[in-house]
A and B are shown apart, each in its own frame.
Chain A
Amino acid sequence: YRWPLDEAGDGQRLEHLASKVLQNARCYSVSHLSVQERIEKKRKAALTGGGQLRIAAQHKRGKLTARERLELLLDPDSFVEYDMFVEHRCSDFGMEADHNKYPGDSVVTGQGRINGRLVYVFSQDFTVFGGSLSGAHAQKVCKIMDQAMMVGAPVIGLNDSGGARIQEGVESLAGYADIFLRNVMASGVVPQISLIMGPCAGGAVYSPALTDFTFMVKDTSYLFITGPDVVKSVTNEDVTQEELGGAKTHTTVSGVAHRAFENDIDALLNLRDFFNFLPLSNKDPAPVTECHDPRDRLVPGLDTIVPLESTKAYDMLDIVHGIVDEREFFEIMPNYAKNIVVGFARMNGRTVGIVGNQPKVASGCLDINSSVKGARFVRFCDAFNIPIITFVDVPGFLPGTAQEYGGIIRHGAKLLYAFAEATVPKITVITRKAYGGAYDVMSSKHLRGDVNYAWPSAEVAVMGAKGAVQIIFRGKENQAEAEAEYVEKFANPFPAAVRGFVDDIIQPSTTRKRICRDLEVLASKKQTNPWKKHANIPL
């Protein structure tokens, strides 16, 4: 999209902002005009960051400025800025010179509203020293994080930084660590979201990594420990920035980022949308918004979605879209470990976390990546009171040396652990296969599932009929007959239902209705785990 608007737009907007600030400033009872003038000058300087030339350069890269980003992210006129007058304290290498001081330094911080709800934000300003992190920069970020924790509101970081302020040396490193510590302290207390909108390299990457969600902007953002030059000198690999740490790499290969967006505007508008799914803190219930989708809506398409042949695939997303409010599903990591689907949706207006095996990809098996992906998502939901709805069609864990050597035992245990420790409402729907250990893992009744349903097509068994018969009747004739017997006995929902391991066998088209009703009941669920300093998840 190219909007044919006048080029003077930016200048005008900045002027407008500046005049607003001036108006506010004039409200002071002013006795020393020189101080008043200095205040105005500083504020104006703060609003232009690194200056018009650098702003133009930022735009030329297809990126918006730190302030433009905040304007888009937050409700109009809701931003309250802190620390506009903070300046860096470095006095080496000529940094002490006036022309090297920028009011506010290389980050804009404060709080504001997204759709009326409180959020703390910081937005790194690439036009000031490439957004590099000085002690002052870190201090500003820490201040809003501390307040967010006290108030109980999420923190959103817009990252666009070249890295440490090298001139400041260890002070910059200390700043990183201060932020890391706060990221860890805030983890599980308030939601933390990172949107990578430019470079983010070296130690800086660990702050996003510690937050709950990391989003990226395609083509203009990078995340890596060391850049292509260092990679070349150390491992002799030729790799571009994009290949090494671009949005595609991190959303499909490494799993570092949870989603990528087309450009700054697309990313920020989507972030606003995403924010609406989250509670403000671990003290708040999952948010409920006005919903136009009837809670008792039947979904006739689900009655035919599971193919009759158990080897045939279908798209779990079709089930998810059919069941949730208005077919709206914010998928997390849609291009990574696609054999499991996770994301946020609403049921009768209330945020829920969805976890589903995806039969379309690798038969929906659990492997290392999908287990880790699922586990992290489940733990987020549990930390922030978001009910979890699990759709199960899993043939088991993926066999093979690659998986065993990679530690599937250790990683698969994470998902098991996450489901088991979760105390939020847990509703499980077995759509087809629930085989072996993977059945146990996928929010089974045994792991304190609150309501577990089976569709008529469900098969809860130790394994598929063929494999089972080969073991039970090894070397015997009439394998086909035995297989039929096994199918008759186990490849259906009855063995689980008669033992109470599923609470009911339900007509697929009624699934939405049932879940909405259950969630209302479970809204007052109270469950606690034994006291512990912290649990020891198999990392």
Chain B
Amino acid sequence: MAAYRNTPGFQRVLHAVKHVCFSKQRCGVIICRYSTVYDPNEKTFDKILIANRGEIACRVIKTCKKMGIKTVAVHSDVDSSAVHVKVADEAVCVGPAPTSKSYLNMDAIMNAIKQTGAQAVHPGYGFLSENKEFAKRLAAEGVTFIGPDTHAIQAMGDKIESKLIAKAAKVNTIPGFDGVVKDAEEAVKIAGEIGYPVMIKASAGGGGKGMRIAWNDEETREGFRFSSQEALSSFGDDRLLIEKFIDNPRHIEIQVLADKHGDALWLNERECSIQRRNQKVVEEAPSTFLDPDTRRAMGEQAVSLANAVKYSSAGTVEFLVDSKKNFYFLEMNTRLQVEHPITECITGLDLVQQMIRIAKGYKLQHKQSDIPINGWAVESRVYAEDPYKSFGLPSIGRLSQYQEPLDLPNVRVDSGIQEGSDISIYYDPMISKLVTYGKTREEALKKMEDALDNYVIRGVTHNIPLLREIIVHPRFVSGDISTKFLPEVYPDGFKGHMLTAGERRELLATAAALYVAAQLRSQKFLGDLRVSVVPAESRQWELCVELDKGVHMLGVSRSGNNYTVEIDGEKVEVSGEWNLASALLPITINGKHRTLQCLLRTAAGEISLQYLGTSFKLRVLSNLAASLSKHMPEKVPEDTSSILRSPMPGSVVAVSVKPGDNVAEGQEICVIEAMKMQNSMTAAKTAKVKSVHCKAGDTVGEGDLLVELE
């Protein structure tokens, strides 16, 4: 049935849809402060294919448009109406949803190149960006790969080889790292030689995915098992790497840019220490930690490594930096990094433009002395994740409402989605990269607060509560961070914003004022009425507001749009426009401007407000209704201690129990994989397995019943 969509009649209609959509389309990328000139006479490519999806595809297309280059998007069938497809000049479907059949499908992508006549390919990050096979195939067809040459990809792609090269290039390397691991016992032996703690990860993998830390033999065995499985499923290559784990390190990386003529530059650092499960969450440039000497030393080592592998294009050299500013080479990423926008903000360079120029064979336009640090840039990775579960477990859904805070100055949002987009289990759950820029760090962080408060995301659970907390945390604000920031600051897991007494009053007052505004509006009937409306005359309201099991009696009085709310003897003044249709609620509380968001408002008095990033559930009732509430029967929630439900949407990798088995508390019951992360689900109590509702290979949704215990 699906095939008939390709008939000409349908295409015509589709085209019409696409055309109208596009005229209204914001690509979602506003680049702040490029000093770069886009010289239309500098001939590069006529047409570039972007072998990627989402925000990075949109990001690359944006620069291509500025450079006058035609663009080709590739997409899987579920992505056929994605933003990157709409903003590209042409689009080719390269297969079904799973990445291995579409975005990693080299045959299909090679066909797309042939079909569209693209002269070059920008791989973005992830997918085929560091795949030497792909680079080779492109070279064989005479298509330019916008990135380093195969040799550099290969050399830096292999964790072991890259360290040998780094050592030879006089780059500081982590002590005690060693080779490929065959089995769990060998892993234990190697770990013993290095000395705990050790880090175990896939040789072929980039970033933090598949990385596990072991503090003893048992954890080494477990880490080996997980990492090798993940390595196999993500990269088709189960080789592993074990190395000394540097406790309490910072993750600071140097952006380099090298041309094909032997010139290389370092574009300063990015501080990427705020991570969860070894994935970056908040990045900034520059770092508060580096002094000019350390920065130069790191930059020069990064450049010497780039030179050692005859690197060309943009690349990133990652370092771990200990508390004494000793830095160790971690790895080199031979691609454009996710967090590249913050470097662009402080240097004024368009890295994608530079990559395209370099790929065409041009010389670098800049000298090292031309590279400035102008101001400060902060990037928050906005994810479709539940931050209350291990700092972020993937969530999926349809973006029922979506509004980027683009009307604020000095805010850049790189995204590849729009209102109505689906966040699916097939791809990375990133919604966008929110970048703010300021003359100082303080200014950039303040701007980030505003931007997060004004960012409307509905329909999927997102991590804005966590991001909003990180950027105002005293340790973060003072620059006292490490890669262990999150587990140290939130040892019992993230619980959302903790309200102070004053904030609590602000929140209660806002909810009460909103309630009264809505009540008053519901009495406003327009038009000629046969039977007159007699609204209840009232300027005073006695309300009862519940928040986190605390009950407050409030007195509200109103004059126009201004409400005076009396809470426990204290007066709070709240005023605003009270537009009940708007997702944003810009109000003034006791003279302070705040932007809250109303997430829910029901007839029964439930109000959910997003305040300081966190969403709070309140219930506002008249005193009468509140006093009668004590008679309402208490509903007993379902007993969940013996039920194991999937914490997120994903697929079942393995089920280790069957009905009748006895399991101990904490014993692994099954493994769920989502977004390439494997999560071990364990028994909450010691019991007998009553029934198993899933099997390996099943796709499960959040909250689906997996296993029942007796």
| Contacts from A to B (Cβ < 8 Å) | 1-5, 9, 13, 59, 61-64, 68, 71-72, 75-78, 113, 115-118, 151-153, 219-220, 261-266, 269-270, 272-274, 276, 280-281, 283-285, 287-294, 298-305, 308-311, 315, 318, 321-322, 325-327, 349, 456-457, 464-466, 483-484, 487-489, 491-494, 507, 509
Tell me the complex Cα distance, A281–B531, Å.
10
Pairwise interchain contact B633-A269, C-beta atoms closer than 8 A: no
Report, nearest first, the 6 A-B pairs whose CB atoms are least far apart: A301-B420, A62-B633, A273-B603, A487-B4, A293-B581, A292-B581
Q: Quick check: is B604 within 8 A (CB to CB) of the other chain?
A: yes
7 contacts between A and B (CB under 8 A): A1-B632, A76-B624, A77-B536, A262-B632, A310-B1, A484-B7, A488-B8
Tell me the complex Cα distance, A308–B619, Å.
42
Which residue on B lies nearest to A270, using beta carbons? B603
Chain B residues near A118 (CB, 8 Å)? Answer: 531
Which of A3, A64, A280, A325 touches B544 (beta carbons < 8 Å)?
A3
Smallest beta-carbon distance B74→chain A, Å: 16
Chain B residues near A284 (CB, 8 Å)? Answer: 529-531
Chain B residues near A274 (CB, 8 Å)? Answer: 603
Pairwise interchain contact B420-A280, C-beta atoms closer than 8 A: no
Pairwise interchain contact A116-B420, C-beta atoms closer than 8 A: no
- Beyond A3-B630, A151-B531, A288-B527, list 13 extra A-B contacts (CB 8 Å): A72-B625, A76-B536, A152-B531, A262-B635, A284-B529, A290-B521, A290-B526, A299-B419, A301-B400, A301-B401, A309-B2, A322-B400, A488-B10
Q: Quick check: is B20 within 8 A (CB to CB) of the other chain?
A: yes
Pairwise interchain contact B604-A266, C-beta atoms closer than 8 A: yes
Smallest beta-carbon distance B134→chain A, Å: 28
Chain A residues near B408 (CB, 8 Å)? Answer: none
Pairwise interchain contact A488-B526, C-beta atoms closer than 8 A: no
Tell me the complex Cα distance, A494–B10, Å.
10
Chain A residues near B580 (CB, 8 Å)? Answer: 292, 326
Chain A residues near B522 (CB, 8 Å)? Answer: 115, 273, 276, 289
Given A72-B625, A464-B1: A219 and B633 interface contact (C-beta under 8 Å): yes
Pairwise interchain contact A304-B2, C-beta atoms closer than 8 A: no
Given A9-B627, A304-B81, A304-B420: A269 and B605 interface contact (C-beta under 8 Å): yes
Within 8 A of A (CB), among B612-633: 619, 621, 624-633
Chain A residues near B398 (CB, 8 Å)? Answer: 301, 315, 318
Given A3-B627, A303-B17, A304-B420: A62 and B632 interface contact (C-beta under 8 Å): yes
Q: Quick check: is B13 within 8 A (CB to CB) of the other chain?
A: yes
| Contacts from B to A (Cβ < 8 Å) | 1-5, 7-10, 13-14, 16-17, 20-21, 24, 77, 80-81, 398-402, 418-421, 521-527, 529-531, 533-536, 538, 544, 546, 551, 579-582, 603-605, 619, 621, 624-635
Pairwise interchain contact A291-B530, C-beta atoms closer than 8 A: no
Smallest beta-carbon distance B427→chain A, Å: 16
Chain A residues near B2 (CB, 8 Å)? Answer: 308-311
Pairwise interchain contact A115-B80, C-beta atoms closer than 8 A: no
Which residue on A lies nearest to B536, using beta carbons? A75
Chain A residues near B1 (CB, 8 Å)? Answer: 309-311, 464-466
Chain A residues near B81 (CB, 8 Å)? Answer: 303-304, 308
Tell me the complex Cα distance, A507–B605, Å.
37
Which of A72, A152, A270, A294 touches B624 (beta carbons < 8 Å)?
A72
Which of A5, A220, A300 touches B627 (beta carbons < 8 Å)?
A5
Chain B residues near A492 (CB, 8 Å)? Answer: 9-10, 13
Chain B residues near A261 (CB, 8 Å)? Answer: 604
Smallest beta-carbon distance A470→chain B, Å: 13
Chain A residues near B581 (CB, 8 Å)? Answer: 291-294, 325-326
Which of A64, A293, A301 touches B631 (beta carbons < 8 Å)?
A64
Pairwise interchain contact B530-A72, C-beta atoms closer than 8 A: no
Pairwise interchain contact A456-B16, C-beta atoms closer than 8 A: yes
Pairwise interchain contact B531-A300, C-beta atoms closer than 8 A: no
Chain A residues near B627 (CB, 8 Å)? Answer: 3, 5, 9, 13
Given A71-B624, A349-B526: A507 and B604 interface contact (C-beta under 8 Å): no
Which of A263, A289, A464, A465 touches B525 (beta carbons < 8 Å)?
A289
Given A116-B536, A303-B420, A456-B14: A290 and B544 interface contact (C-beta under 8 Å): no
Pairwise interchain contact B21-A78, C-beta atoms closer than 8 A: no
Tell me the complex Cα distance, A455–B41, Å.
44
Pairwise interchain contact B531-A116, C-beta atoms closer than 8 A: no
Chain A residues near B524 (CB, 8 Å)? Answer: 289-290
Tell me the complex Cα distance, A310–B2, Å.
7
Smallest beta-carbon distance A310→chain B, Å: 6
Smallest beta-carbon distance A466→chain B, Å: 7
Chain B residues near A300 (CB, 8 Å)? Answer: 21, 24, 418-420
Pairwise interchain contact A488-B7, C-beta atoms closer than 8 A: yes
Which of A2, A464, A491 touches B10 (beta carbons < 8 Å)?
A491
Chain B residues near A293 (CB, 8 Å)? Answer: 581
Chain A residues near B5 (CB, 8 Å)? Answer: 308-309
Smallest beta-carbon distance B513→chain A, Å: 15
Pairwise interchain contact B420-A302, C-beta atoms closer than 8 A: yes
Which residue on A lies nearest to B626, using beta carbons? A3
Tell me the complex Cα distance, A272–B14, Å.
45
Which residue on B lies nearest to A113, using beta carbons? B534
Which residue on B lies nearest to A74, using beta carbons? B536
Pairwise interchain contact B632-A264, C-beta atoms closer than 8 A: yes
Tell me the complex Cα distance, A62–B635, Å.
11
Tell me the complex Cα distance, A355–B17, Å.
25
Smallest beta-carbon distance B157→chain A, Å: 36
Pairwise interchain contact B634-A2, C-beta atoms closer than 8 A: yes
Pairwise interchain contact A301-B628, C-beta atoms closer than 8 A: no
Chain A residues near B544 (CB, 8 Å)? Answer: 3
Pairwise interchain contact A265-B530, C-beta atoms closer than 8 A: no
Chain A residues near B21 (CB, 8 Å)? Answer: 300, 303, 509
Pairwise interchain contact B4-A2, C-beta atoms closer than 8 A: no
Pairwise interchain contact B530-A116, C-beta atoms closer than 8 A: no
Which residue on B lies nearest to A492, using beta carbons? B9
Chain B residues near A304 (CB, 8 Å)? Answer: 81, 418, 420-421
Smallest beta-carbon distance B329→chain A, Å: 44
Chain B residues near A493 (CB, 8 Å)? Answer: 13
Tell me the complex Cα distance, A136–B120, Å.
89
Pairwise interchain contact B628-A72, C-beta atoms closer than 8 A: yes
Which of A9, A61, A301 touches B419 (beta carbons < 8 Å)?
A301
Pairwise interchain contact B630-A2, C-beta atoms closer than 8 A: yes
Given A308-B80, A507-B20: A494 and B9 interface contact (C-beta under 8 Å): yes
Tell me the complex Cα distance, A263–B604, Å.
10
Which of A75, A269, A285 touches B603 (beta carbons < 8 Å)?
A269
Which residue on A lies nearest to B630, using beta carbons? A3
